[in-house]
Chains A and B, each alone.
Chain A
């Protein structure tokens, strides 16, 4: 079997798995539904009076679309960061996006309480969380970008990202120490990530943001391939390195920043999925890696969402714990059994 045929077969299986997972996820929830109901909804043969109709339209569909967007967006942004830094440990948050978002949310939720402003008491809306997370990521990204312009060596940036992350956790720690139990819980819940906070209206913003981010990644996929050969080699082949880096920054900011603002810092997916895809498809070609990362990331996120609501009951587990618990053993196995997959 030629490698190409093999890719087509593996790929079709993955697409089928993705569709299956999406349907299962649509059927998961506290209100019981049949497969036929889903078909009826999408073919328009419902009268809107069914018992499941509103919860399906207003909660499940946004949740499933969000899961797909989050899985796809984080996987692609992780892939971009790993290729930029030529480091398999890089992820979407390496440049301080999640640190920035958590700082923004911490200041809004905890800081406001600590200084007696009391946004909490006045009813802190979901929108406020989104705005503060976005503002936080934007400011930290801006800081990193300003440093990046002065810094030629890309590895220094990696260290800087880690340092800024540590500084931010220190500030957040101080805020946590000074805050009240109720606010603390709200903040902690945000850090656990959630696909359920995205409404149908929110998707009007999230879909274009993720769409543009992925489109941008796809446009520079040829350059990303050459970046793997090293900066000098890429430059000698005529790649505009600064422009490519800038495009990567913008794409990652949109993808990881947008997702973190709406869903909180969802871990693991961004680091693991590109790794899985590279190993399974035995390739470094971003024209393959980007689409397969989208499919695999979306699939894993749907699976995690299904598992986070066991049996469709009232218990809803934090999505961050699920992705990590199901994914990490798998990735460990992958790394141990196929050590030579990334850098020799």
Chain B
């Protein structure tokens, strides 16, 4: 069934929102979207922009106000709950769960859409559950209880449940939210592999831009009740990524692929040097609000002297006084103290 369709999810002219005591609040409208096999799609947007609402609507948990959403071959509103659960799996942002649930039980619940009344699991269940746990590296935790494992392991269990569900489409609502750096990258590596090797279509929301830019095939950026869908690199080049912030406070650095805070402007200085230390010095100076000019002369000069064993920074002020620093911290202290003297 999976092989026949390369477009797993297609939405046309979708409208989503809430109704509160007669008033209608529209979250997203005129939405057209498409998600294909083997795609890892990152859903980004500001808080309250409608990321979770979109995921819940794609899941069919909230009714659409308008438009048609097709899962593989079938409009979503024609699917019975179990049919839907065989096409699309969903892992919500963290919820409070009973601590005495066994890891194996949780993953095995993913087989519910295939089970008959009162039959515990279907015949494939054992191998599918085993395989899902193996892929998410939680097999060794099978007999543990939920309160005995870490947040990272717990998140992997939840995704293993979605894998046991054996669906072409997986939706993940902020799967990396409570994970440390190591676990975050580990998780992304696993998701990447699932998309590449098993042709799954994974749609995940996250606020971690670094991860989104590095691992996804496509970003869906929610902006003004609609979605901009682009490859992450196009998103950067065309500066759409800057829609995530108020442009006056933050500056997106194309080289570093990061937002940088704009410090209090302190004027410009000329920086000389090369190599890694030069790059990091530049970063530090920009962080405290200097514009770096490499070719201008006559103002404040900073020279990076990288020697074999140690590095020293020479600071030449316009009044020709020279200071030396032996770490970036010292360099900043000297620049700041001089700056305050002048103002």
Could you list which residues of chain A lie within 8 angstroms of chain B, going by C-beta atoms?
A: 3, 86, 218-219, 221-222, 225-226, 228-230, 232-233, 235-240, 278-279, 282-285, 287, 340-344
- Whether A228 contacts B101 in the complex (CB less than 8 A), given A235-B61, A238-B113, A287-B120, comes out as yes
Give Cα distance in the complex from A3 to B109, angstroms.
Answer: 19
B218 to chain A, nearest CB (A): 23
Asked whether, in the complex, the Cβ of B90 is within 8 Å of the Cβ of A284, the reply is no
Give Cα distance in the complex from A301 to B97, angstroms.
Answer: 31
Asked whether, in the complex, the Cβ of A340 is within 8 Å of the Cβ of B112, the reply is no
A334 to chain B, nearest CB (A): 13
Give Cα distance in the complex from A52 to B123, angstroms.
Answer: 55
Picked from A86, A218, A222, the residue with its CB within 8 Å of the CB of B112 is A222
Chain A residue numbers with a CB within 8 Å of B92 are 230, 232-233, 236
Give Cα distance in the complex from A285 to B112, angstroms.
Answer: 13
Asked whether, in the complex, the Cβ of B99 is within 8 Å of the Cβ of A340, the reply is yes
Chain B residue numbers with a CB within 8 Å of A278 are 100
Picked from A3, A232, A285, A343, the residue with its CB within 8 Å of the CB of B143 is A3
Give Cα distance in the complex from A342 to B145, angstroms.
Answer: 11
Asked whether, in the complex, the Cβ of A228 is within 8 Å of the Cβ of B145, the reply is no
Asked whether, in the complex, the Cβ of A341 is within 8 Å of the Cβ of B99, the reply is yes
Which among B56, B59, B101 has the highest number of chain A CB atoms within 10 Å? B101
Chain A residue numbers with a CB within 8 Å of B59 are 235-236
From residue 95 to 130 of chain B, which have CB atoms closer than 8 A to chain A? 95-102, 105-106, 109-110, 112-113, 115, 117-118, 120
Picked from A86, A232, A282, the residue with its CB within 8 Å of the CB of B90 is A232
- Whether A229 contacts B97 in the complex (CB less than 8 A), given A237-B112, A238-B112, comes out as yes
Which among A221, A226, A236, A340 has the highest number of chain B CB atoms within 10 Å? A236
Tell whether B146 is near chain A: CB-to-CB under 8 Å. yes
- Whether A237 contacts B102 in the complex (CB less than 8 A), given A226-B109, A226-B112, comes out as no
Asked whether, in the complex, the Cβ of A340 is within 8 Å of the Cβ of B81, the reply is no
Give Cα distance in the complex from A235 to B80, angstroms.
Answer: 11
Chain A residue numbers with a CB within 8 Å of B96 are 86, 230, 343-344
- Whether A282 contacts B100 in the complex (CB less than 8 A), given A225-B109, A239-B112, comes out as yes
Asked whether, in the complex, the Cβ of A233 is within 8 Å of the Cβ of B100, the reply is no
Asked whether, in the complex, the Cβ of B85 is within 8 Å of the Cβ of A237, the reply is yes
B101 to chain A, nearest CB (A): 5
Known: A235-B81, A238-B112. 16 other contacts (CB 8 A): A86-B96, A219-B118, A221-B118, A222-B112, A222-B118, A222-B120, A225-B105, A228-B101, A235-B61, A236-B92, A237-B109, A237-B110, A237-B113, A238-B80, A238-B86, A343-B96
Asked whether, in the complex, the Cβ of A228 is within 8 Å of the Cβ of B117, the reply is no
Tell whether B137 is near chain A: CB-to-CB under 8 Å. no
Give Cα distance in the complex from A219 to B102, angstroms.
Answer: 22
Asked whether, in the complex, the Cβ of B145 is within 8 Å of the Cβ of A282, the reply is yes
- Whether A229 contacts B85 in the complex (CB less than 8 A), given A222-B118, A239-B112, comes out as no
A3 to chain B, nearest CB (A): 7
Closest 7 CB pairs between A and B?
A238-B85, A236-B90, A238-B82, A238-B81, A344-B99, A238-B113, A230-B95
Chain A residue numbers with a CB within 8 Å of B155 are none
Asked whether, in the complex, the Cβ of B98 is within 8 Å of the Cβ of A342, the reply is yes
Asked whether, in the complex, the Cβ of B90 is within 8 Å of the Cβ of A341, the reply is no
Give Cα distance in the complex from A343 to B98, angstroms.
Answer: 4
Tell whether B184 is near chain A: CB-to-CB under 8 Å. no
Picked from B89, B97, B117, B147, the residue with its CB within 8 Å of the CB of A219 is B117
Give Cα distance in the complex from A287 to B102, angstroms.
Answer: 14
Tell whether B38 is near chain A: CB-to-CB under 8 Å. no
Which among A221, A285, A287 has the highest number of chain B CB atoms within 10 Å? A285
Tell whether B165 is near chain A: CB-to-CB under 8 Å. yes
The residue in chain A whose Cβ has the minimal distance to the Cβ of B173 is A232
Tell whether B84 is near chain A: CB-to-CB under 8 Å. yes
The residue in chain A whose Cβ has the minimal distance to the Cβ of B120 is A287
Give Cα distance in the complex from A236 to B81, angstroms.
Answer: 8
Chain A residue numbers with a CB within 8 Å of B147 are 340, 344
Give Cα distance in the complex from A229 to B146, angstroms.
Answer: 12
Chain B residue numbers with a CB within 8 Å of A235 are 59, 61, 81
Give Cα distance in the complex from A221 to B117, angstroms.
Answer: 9
A226 to chain B, nearest CB (A): 6
Give Cα distance in the complex from A183 to B132, angstroms.
Answer: 65
Chain A residue numbers with a CB within 8 Å of B120 are 222, 287
The residue in chain A whose Cβ has the minimal distance to the Cβ of B119 is A222
Asked whether, in the complex, the Cβ of A343 is within 8 Å of the Cβ of B81, the reply is no
B308 to chain A, nearest CB (A): 55
Chain B residue numbers with a CB within 8 Å of A3 are 143
Picked from A230, A232, A237, A240, the residue with its CB within 8 Å of the CB of B97 is A230
Give Cα distance in the complex from A236 to B110, angstroms.
Answer: 10
Give Cα distance in the complex from A278 to B100, angstroms.
Answer: 8
The residue in chain A whose Cβ has the minimal distance to the Cβ of B145 is A282
Asked whether, in the complex, the Cβ of A228 is within 8 Å of the Cβ of B98, the reply is yes
Asked whether, in the complex, the Cβ of B99 is within 8 Å of the Cβ of A228, the reply is no
A97 to chain B, nearest CB (A): 25
Chain A residue numbers with a CB within 8 Å of B95 are 229-230, 232-233
Which among B81, B98, B118 has the highest number of chain A CB atoms within 10 Å? B98
Asked whether, in the complex, the Cβ of A284 is within 8 Å of the Cβ of B101, the reply is yes
Give Cα distance in the complex from A229 to B56, angstroms.
Answer: 16
A260 to chain B, nearest CB (A): 28
Give Cα distance in the complex from A282 to B118, angstroms.
Answer: 22
| 19 residue pairs bridging A and B, Cβ less than 8 Å apart | A219-B117, A225-B105, A228-B98, A229-B97, A230-B92, A230-B96, A230-B97, A232-B61, A236-B85, A237-B112, A237-B113, A238-B82, A239-B112, A283-B100, A284-B100, A284-B101, A340-B99, A340-B147, A344-B97
- Whether A240 contacts B98 in the complex (CB less than 8 A), given A3-B143, A282-B145, A285-B105, comes out as no
Chain B residue numbers with a CB within 8 Å of A228 are 97-98, 101
The residue in chain B whose Cβ has the minimal distance to the Cβ of A3 is B143
A291 to chain B, nearest CB (A): 13
A286 to chain B, nearest CB (A): 11
Give Cα distance in the complex from A233 to B96, angstroms.
Answer: 12
Chain A residue numbers with a CB within 8 Å of B80 are 238
